[in-house]
């Protein structure tokens, strides 16, 4: 058996983009003391083989466009390489990339180059900066837009902290309320009122960036909170309960300076938002409305029984919900990052209970997908018992994560509740 014969056999089984550029035959698979594949040693063996054979995925080629330069900057930063060590035809995965780093690259491109359509699967398909630039440009109605955005990004990326502060002219900026760094703010207006977004179980704040951008487009200040055990809070201890999590989030900012608040919570986030609303109302922070998206009503959670805690069962539940890219759920490294966050949230939610007569003064608007097999119309209607204000029920076409297909429509409806 040879490396080439393996590649030929794979060609009959999987698409071309899934076939490794480099195949190295080993006498044994190196494992760590804990019994897992030793990825560091495997990487070292591959690098040695590539160097020995003189193999390289393609001759070095410098960027030819501003967009390619911007993509190279993002990719090089995440790989921890110098810019000139990354060519536009170099295979991302041959340079040391993996699915976790690919996720970070996609997040960076979405953030800096305003390309919300880019998916992690696109990184696996494109693999090189040149192909990625071509893919992004092909999705644009105006190809020049990306070049202009890339030019602005490169200008900012090359600025020092002093340059940035000078450009912002902080002397003329009004004083800003204090928030924890993991409260993500998207500024839409200087008028009173803001939307506060609470992610689903296992969800990171980044997953709601595009909802936030849609809200900002409607001239609404938006905040997205980050739960512990993920992203920039990976080292933060998990909350013991939903109530403790809500308290931590309430104490994370000067919310009275941004009030009145409109809260939006998806799935578990709806319960966290409800407990946050109770805290806010007790502490004199006005809450105009709570949007409960694809979530059980507080008084029905306890009767649902405990959520899964075994890794295999948690993953099966994530697949059933359908909110995570299946390609990522098959990746061991990504799963190692995701599962602890989901389990922490599931433990907190499994211990939650609330009597049916507990109400908030804020209006409640329950919303979900008409094909959600987990949260029915009747379950959404149960939210009505938890408000002394107005109750509204809305449905969109879709499943549990209907929101992904109706961001602009939902943002317009939520924005109307802000003022």
List, for residues 60-87, the tens digit of each pLDDT value.
Answer: 789 999 999 999 999 998 888 888 889 9
| Residues forming beta bridges with residue 262, ordered by sequence position | 195, 289
Half-sphere exposure of 60 (CA within 13 A, CB side): 7
Q: Crossing angle, helix 332-350 and helix 99-113, to 10 degrees? A: 80
Percent of the chain whose pLDDT exceeds 90: 55
Q: Please answer whether residues 22 and 49 qualify as being in contact, where contact means their C-beta atoms are separated by less than 8 angstroms.
A: yes
Q: Give the pLDDT confidence score for residue 175 in this predicted structure.
A: 42
- What fold is seen in the domain 66-157? 1.10.1200
Secondary structure (DSSP) of 112-149: HH--TT--HHHHHHH-SHHHHHHHHHHT-SSHHHHHHH
Element (H, E) at 363: strand 363-369
- Note the pLDDT tens digit of each residue in 140-162: 888 788 898 999 888 887 776 55
- Note the pLDDT tens digit of each residue in 94-134: 787 887 788 889 988 988 898 888 888 888 889 899 999 99
Q: Give the pLDDT confidence score for residue 202 in this predicted structure.
A: 93
- DSSP 8-state assignment for residue 222: E
Q: Give the pLDDT confidence score for residue 174 in this predicted structure.
A: 45
The count of other CB atoms within 10 Å of the CB of residue 63 is: 19
CA 375 – CA 223 distance, rounded (Å)? 26
- Note the pLDDT tens digit of each residue in 277-311: 999 999 999 999 999 999 999 999 999 989 998 99
55 vs 114 pLDDT, higher one: 114
Environment class of residue 202 by beta-carbon count within 10 Å: exposed (0-12), middle (13-18) or buried (19+)? Answer: buried
Structure token pair of residue 82 = 């110098």
Structure token pair of residue 355 = 């009597």
Phi, psi (degrees; rounded to nearest 5) at 396? -120, 160
Read off the pLDDT band of 46 (50, 70, 90). Answer: low
Structure token pair of residue 20 = 């490794």
pTM of the model: 0.65
Q: Please answer whether residues 30 and 39 qualify as being in contact, where contact means their C-beta atoms are separated by less than 8 angstroms.
A: no
CA 91 – CA 123 distance, rounded (Å)? 10
- What fold is seen in the domain 179-416? Rossmann fold (3.40.50)
Can you give the residue ranges of every domain in the chain?
3-53, 66-157, 179-416
- DSSP 8-state assignment for residue 370: T
* pLDDT beyond 90 at 376: yes
* pLDDT beyond 80 at 220: yes
Judged by average pLDDT, the poorest of 35-39, 53-57, 146-150 is 53-57
Q: Please answer whether residues 342 and 328 qualify as being in contact, where contact means their C-beta atoms are separated by less than 8 angstroms.
A: no
């Amino acid at each position: 058996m040879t490396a080439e014969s393996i590649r030929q056999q794979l060609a009959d089984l999987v698409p071309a983009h899934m076939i490794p550029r480099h195949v190295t035959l080993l006498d044994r698979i190196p494992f760590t003391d804990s019994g897992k594949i030793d990825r560091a040693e495997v990487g070292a063996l591959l690098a040695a083989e590539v160097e020995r054979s003189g193999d390289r995925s393609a001759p070095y080629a410098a960027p030819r466009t501003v967009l390619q330069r911007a993509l190279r900057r993002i990719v090089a930063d995440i790989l921890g390489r110098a810019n000139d060590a990354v060519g536009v035809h170099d295979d991302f995965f041959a340079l040391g990339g993996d699915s976790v780093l690919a996720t970070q690259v996609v997040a960076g491109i979405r953030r800096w180059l305003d390309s919300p359509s880019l998916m992690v699967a696109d990184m696996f398909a494109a693999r090189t900066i040149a192909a990625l630039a071509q893919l992004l440009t092909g999705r644009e109605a105006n190809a020049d837009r990306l070049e202009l955005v890339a030019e602005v990004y490169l200008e900012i990326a090359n600025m020092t902290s002093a340059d940035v502060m000078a450009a912002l002219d902080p002397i003329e900026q009004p004083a800003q309320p204090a928030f924890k760094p993991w409260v993500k703010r998207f500024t839409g207006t200087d008028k009173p009122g803001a939307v506060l977004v609470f992610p689903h179980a296992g969800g990171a704040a980044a997953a709601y960036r595009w909802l936030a951008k849609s809200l900002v487009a409607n001239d609404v200040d938006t905040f997205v909170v980050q739960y512990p055990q993920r992203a920039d809070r990976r080292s933060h201890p998990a909350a013991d309960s939903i109530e403790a999590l809500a308290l931590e989030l309430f104490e994370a900012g000067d919310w009275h300076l941004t009030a009145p608040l409109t809260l939006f919570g998806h799935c578990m986030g709806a319960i966290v938002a409800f407990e946050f609303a109770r805290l806010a109302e007790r502490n004199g922070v006005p809450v105009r409305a709570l949007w409960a998206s694809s979530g059980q009503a507080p008084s029905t959670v306890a009767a649902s029984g405990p959520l899964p805690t075994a890794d295999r069962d948690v993953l099966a539940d994530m697949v059933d919900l359908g909110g995570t890219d299946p390609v990522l759920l098959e990746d061991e490294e990504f799963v190692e990052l995701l599962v602890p966050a989901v389990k922490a949230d599931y433990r907190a939610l499994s211990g939650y209970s609330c009597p049916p007569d507990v109400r908030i003064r804020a209006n409640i608007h329950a919303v979900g997908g008409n094909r959600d097999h987990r949260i029915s119309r009747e379950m959404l209607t149960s939210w009505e018992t938890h408000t002394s204000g107005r109750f509204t029920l809305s449905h969109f076409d879709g499943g549990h994560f209907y929101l992904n297909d109706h961001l602009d429509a939902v943002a317009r409806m939520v924005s109307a509740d802000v003022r």
